[in-house]
Amino acid sequence: MSETVQPLSVLTDDERAFQGAVAEFAQGEVAPRVAEMEKNARLDPTLIPKYFEMGLMGIQVPEAFGGAGGSVMMVTIAVEELSKVDASAAIMVDVQNTLVAYPMLSAANDEQKKRYLPALCESQIGAYALSEATSGSDAFALATRADKKGDNWILTGRKLWITNGAEADVFIVFANTDPSKGYKGITAFIVERSFSGFSVGKKEDKLGIRASSTTELILDGVVVPATNVLGPVGQGYKIAIETLNEGRIGIGAQMIGIAQGALTAATAYVKERHQFGKCIADNQAVQFQLAQAATELAAARLMVYDAARLKDAGRDIAQAGAMAKLFASQVSERVTSLCVELFGGYGYTKDYPAEKFYRDAKIGTIYEGTSNMQLQTIAKGLLK
């Protein structure tokens, strides 16, 4: 696509350089693996160490803990660029930064940061475990229990829809320490894969982002040292809310990346495809559809970038993050659907990239808060 739809003016020179480096990495390392990863429904394990070598797994983490000392804006750029090539490859980086490293940085004590952050930047993958069978949008209806026993907490329950579940070494798990207090009993725990009673269950067979693992976690009396409580007991709901607010920026970035990848592919295709003696790009109807798609995508990108800037400035992003995720996911659905149509019959086959972008886009309206939940958050902010 032309740079006219890329808001380069809102990026600093350093951010543009970073964007170029990630784009080069995505084309050189991710793109050649996409077809096989999609076929196997599994990220290529040889790709993951390259994430760490690139510094993509600890972008916001200070250099003192082994990270890049970057910003939410840089996370946004990385997720967008990777998503232009493969949303599955992007979501591992997104979760690592926004749902794992961020709550560690904001809620962990010094000892926990020293123990876990360097490993998460160097070699270990993290996952965020909030959702359960009966608590999706109603996240605070979770049934997982945490009971104190001496110097340990015993976690019992099951978690569903856990991204990175198959590969993760460290999990941020939410459980209720006192159900009589409702959501005020929810507490966050740092759980290692090796802890007694912990296991990974079923891996979901999904419509889109197929190479990204989405699993069940089985907590069968998991023994968690009291030193692994993340933040104060009973304050897990606050950690969950703040983490998801940032996470929604990452999902917005994923959605604009998917849409851009699809639009780039479709724009190239319409200039090659001939019907009625001319390429279909010469048809004004096609031109106008592409123009509308590019305009909506540019607007969505600016909303996502603005939310990232607000977060980096220390501002409240509950409403801006919800708006960015809501609109970016809507735009991604519309743009990828159009691109399937512009490819014609080929768009419905796996020989061309349009159908994969279309399938990958759907999850944006569901995870890390459905579109209806984003609308509720936005409405509360308006009526406050």
**Which CATH number goes with the domain that contains 163?**
2.40.110.10
Q: Going by C-beta distance under 8 Å and a sequence separation of 6 or more, which residues neighbour residue 201?
A: 158, 215, 216, 217, 218
Type of residue numbered 77? I
- My answer on whether 178 and 314 are in the same domain is no
Range of the domain at 140: 127-235
Low-confidence ranges of the chain (pLDDT < 50): 1-4
Annotation marks residue 368 as catalytic: yes
Buried-exposed string 292-326: b where 16+ CB fall within 10 A, e elsewhere: ebbebbbbbbebbbbbbbbbbeeeebbbbbbbbbb
| Residues 196 and 142 occupy one common structural domain | yes
Q: Are residues 225 and 242 in the same domain?
A: no
Reading the block at residue 324, the tokens are 């960015």
Catalytic residue among 132, 296, 333, 368: 368
Same domain, residue pair 251 and 328: yes
Number of domains in the chain: 3
Where does a domain end: 201, 235, 269?
A: 235
> In DSSP terms, which residues pair with 173 in a beta bridge?
129, 189
Do residues 245 and 202 share a domain?
Answer: no
Q: Which helix (DSSP H) or strand (DSSP E) does residue 67 occupy?
A: none
Nearest to 121 by CA among 70, 173, 190, 180: 70
Residue 54: its pLDDT value, please?
A: 97
Regarding whether 117 and 207 lie in a shared domain, the answer is: no
CATH code for the domain in which residue 60 is found = 1.10.540.10
By the 10 Å C-beta count (0-12 exposed, 13-18 middle, 19+ buried), 140 is classed as middle
Task: Mark whether 356 and 298 lie in a shared domain.
Answer: yes
Reported pTM: 0.96
The amino acid present at 160, given as its one-letter code, is: L
> Are 14 and 143 members of one domain?
no
**Cβ atoms < 10 Å from Cβ of 13:** 7
Q: Which of 124, 155, 176 is the last residue of a domain?
A: 124
Same domain, 22 and 83: yes
* Nearest-angstrom CA–CA distance, 239 and 61: 17
Q: End-to-end distance of the chain based on CA atoms, in angstroms?
A: 40
Q: Do 267 and 351 lie in a common domain?
A: yes
State the residue for tokens 């160490």: 49
Contact present, 133 and 281 (Cβ < 8 Å)? no
**H or E element in which residue 224 lies:** strand 214-225
38 and 109 share a domain?
A: yes
Whole-number pLDDT of residue 4: 45
Q: Indicate the burial class of 272 (C-beta count within 10 angstroms; 0-12, 13-18, 19 or more).
A: exposed
Final residue in a domain of this structure, among 124, 139, 166: 124
d(CA 234, CA 224): 16
The set of residues, in sequence order, having a beta carbon less than 8 Å from that of 227 and lying 6+ positions away, is 111, 112
The answer on 259 and 145 residing in a single domain is no
Q: Residue 360 contacts by C-beta under 8 Å, 6 or more apart in sequence?
A: 87, 88, 208, 209, 258, 336
Residue 209 · residue 364 · CB < 8 Å: no
